Amino acid sequence: MTKQKAGKITYWVATLWLALGMTSTGIVQLMHMEEEVQMMAHLGYPIYFLTLIGVWKLLGVIAILIPKFPVLKEWAYAGFAFTMIGALASHLALGDGMVELFGPALLLILTEISWYFRPTNRKLVPISSK
């Protein structure tokens, strides 16, 4: 298997798992499932954050899956990273255990793998200076 093909497979596996994770958590956040409401209260955040984060996650999934729009993809990846880093920092600040850290950590790792291995046609191409 060539390095290019291995990178493409790595990209799609990570991206599909990331999309599945962000979609499923985004939906339960939009539904305000009791576990999510309790977690937000535990973390000290207002409940309306569930709606904001849920919508952002679903829009981010669309952005990373559709072709083209490299600037939008960069923002989606950044948003995923900021959200997961924020979740990790919040849980760590409260002394939560590995169970609470696992989900955000996994999604952060998938975000970074997907971003790193994305194909050239999904990357932001720098403007060359003349």
* pTM score of the predicted model: 0.90
pLDDT class for 67, splitting at 50, 70, 90? confident
Q: How does pLDDT run across 25-47, given as a tens digit for each residue?
A: 999 999 999 999 999 999 999 99
Residue whose entry in the numeric block shows the structure tokens 């669309």: 62
Q: How does pLDDT run across 72-128, given as a tens digit for each residue?
A: 999 999 999 999 999 999 999 999 999 999 999 999 999 999 999 998 777 777 666
Listed residue (72, 64, 66, 69) closest to 116, CA to CA: 64
- Residue 97 tokens read as 């255990």
Q: In the prediction, which pLDDT does 14 show?
A: 97
